Chain A
Amino acid sequence: MDRIAPWLQTNWDRRAAGNFIGGGTGAGLAVFAAASELAGGTPQRWAYLLAAIFIAAGLSLVWIEIGRPWRFLHVFFNPHTSWMTREGLVALPLLVALAAAAWYGGAALASVAALLALVFVYCQARILRASRGIPAWRDPSIVPLIGATALAEGVGAWFVLNFVAGAAPGGFVLVLALLALLARWIAWTAYRRSLARRGAPTASRKALQAIGLQLLVLGTIAPIVLIAASLGFADYARPLALAAGLLGLAEGWLIKDTIVLRAAFNQGFAVPHMPRLNPASGDSGIRQGWS
């Protein structure tokens, strides 16, 4: 029998997921590094360099996925409607701004880099939103989810970096981190509800449901508790923040991996009416694999 019910897309693989992971983590890290700097924290310039590496690595994964990699300049041909073109166009100044922020330092460059990072993540979110063939991607609520996830991944990367650097995140950044983790959970819940309301392939919803509890416990509650504990137990602040960061980061990557690979069922085929040869017969159509 032919495949009628939605099936998992195979056009984009782990390399594409890697672009969303690298882009989100790098952009989130750039935002938190800049926020920390603007809040009076000790500037950690190499955070910008690492953010650039994350973003460039993600884009490189896409480059090795495309069928004609040596035509890569063609990606810039359609800024009018293609969010992939816009992602590429933003990536160039973003990487330059991150390199400049890492090299020269200063709040102004950091702010520019953070702003471009936010635009970059927005483009990535809109890439998914524009994919009308994948119900779990085209839902409008994917945009705030990808944005909030990027920020939460940035929290994770920032905390890990601080641990490596022997520093503890400042109070203002801790508050922002709590907000980012909460925002991710709220966006995730809104996304799931939106899919339930608008309809999505049953298999997509199952794939998302499978990580829901883990995301709540390990990706939201646990890091929030760890961050709160780091405020109360100054002696253990660094390892506690590290643990919170690792959890925030890993669960963000899990969300991207799930959305891009495991929940990415296509539209499938459906007919709203069956051919009616006999006027007495019913005409209800066929649509399989949806709920």
Chain B
Amino acid sequence: MTRWVMVADLKRCVGCQTCTAACKQTNATPPGVQWRRVLDMEEGEYPDVRRVFVPVGCMHCADPPCMTVCPSTATRRRPDGIVTIDYDLCIGCSYCAVACPYQARHKTDRASFAYGGAPSRAERKRFDGRRLAVATKCTFCVDRIDAGTAKGLTPGVDPEATPACVNSCIAAALHFGDVENPASNVSRLLAENRNFRMHEELGTGPGFYYLWE
């Protein structure tokens, strides 16, 4: 079996938000909606201050609470671990949003554009009305993965089959691959580095690992 996961090396992330920009560009998310974010977490007072940049988004959980609660079955989990939303089934009740412990879900009721009321040419071309008033979130660029694997490419290795955020990372902090394959890039990283998953105590089994040592 395959399970696609993402790995973020907290020792490498510099908080440049290139992944955020790449995600917005690739997925044409509206203003204010960021499927991939990088948190700037800071604690303490000068001179004893600690700071870390933490990429977050949908964790593509093994036991996704968003899927369990969804009354319409719009949210599903594929056999390869990717959690998807069927925009044509979703009723926009936002139950998934309150069930998600990672604040990964977004709902925009009206179309909005970067430069005022009118869409730019690019925005008009890529506007998808199906995404209005329904839940949206990171898809792990599932269309890229599916198209890439259909060509025999390896997600996480071949850029054409890899999520845009991972491709764009300037510090090689983001990685993507099959955690069920012991020889994969992510399996090796997890074996060689100490890691954690966010809010693991909630039992959701996130598919997003953070390397910290």
How far, in whole Å, are A267 and B73 apart by their CA atoms in the complex? 24
- Contact B65–A133 (Cβ < 8 Å): yes
The interface residues of chain B lying within 8 Å CB-to-CB of A274 are 10, 50, 52, 212
Q: Are B50 and A11 in contact (CB under 8 A)?
A: no
Chain B residues contacting A75 (CB-CB under 8 Å) are 71-72, 91, 93
User: Is there contact, CB below 8 Å, between A2 and B40?
Assistant: yes
On chain A, the residues within 8 Å of B90 by CB distance are 67-68, 71, 74
Complex CA distance for A267 and B65, rounded to whole angstroms: 13
Given contacts A83-B69, A133-B100, contact A286 B93 (CB under 8 A): no
Instruction: Give bound CA distance, A244 to B90, whole Å.
Output: 43
A273 to B197, CA, bound (A): 10
B213 touches A273 (CB 8 A): yes
Q: Is the CB of A67 within 8 A of B198?
A: no
Q: Looking at chain A's contact residues, is the secondary structure mostly helix, strand, loop, or mixed?
A: loop
Structural contact, A288 and B69, CB atoms closer than 8 A: no
Question: Do the beta carbons of B98 and A12 come within 8 Å of each other?
Answer: yes
B residues less than 8 Å from A214 (CB atoms): none
With A67-B134, A68-B133, A74-B71 given, is the CB distance from A286 to B196 under 8 Å? no
Cα–Cα, bound, A65→B107 (Å): 12
Contact B100 A66 (CB under 8 A): no
The verdict on A72 contacting chain B, using a C-beta distance below 8 Å, is yes
User: Which residue of A2, A67, A83, A273 is within 8 Å of B93 (Cβ)?
Assistant: A67
Question: Would you call A77 and B72 a contact (CB within 8 A)?
Answer: yes
Contacts of B94 in A (CB 8 A): 11-12, 66-67
Closest to A72 in B: B91
- The one of A81, A134, A267 in contact with B199, judged by C-beta atoms closer than 8 angstroms, is A267
B101 interfacial by beta-carbon distance below 8 Å: yes
Q: Which of A4, A69, A81, A127 lies in contact with B39, CB distance below 8 A?
A: A4
B60 CB to closest chain A CB (Å) equals 15
Q: Which of A43-51, A103-111, A147-155, A275-283 contacts B (4 or more CB under 8 A)?
A: A275-283
**A130 contacts chain B at the CB level, 8 A cutoff:** yes
The reply to whether A84 and B69 contact each other, CB–CB distance below 8 Å, is yes
Which residues of B lie under 8 Å from residue A264 when comparing CB positions? 98
Partner of A133, one of B10, B11, B99, B133: B99
By a beta-carbon cutoff of 8 Å, the part of chain A in contact with chain B is 1-2, 4, 9, 11-12, 62, 65-69, 71-72, 74-78, 81-85, 88, 127, 130-134, 137, 264, 266-267, 269-277, 283, 286, 288
Chain B residues within 8 Å of A, Cβ to Cβ: 10-11, 37, 39-43, 50, 52, 54, 56, 65, 67-74, 89-95, 97-103, 107, 109, 132-134, 194, 196, 198-200, 202, 204, 210-213
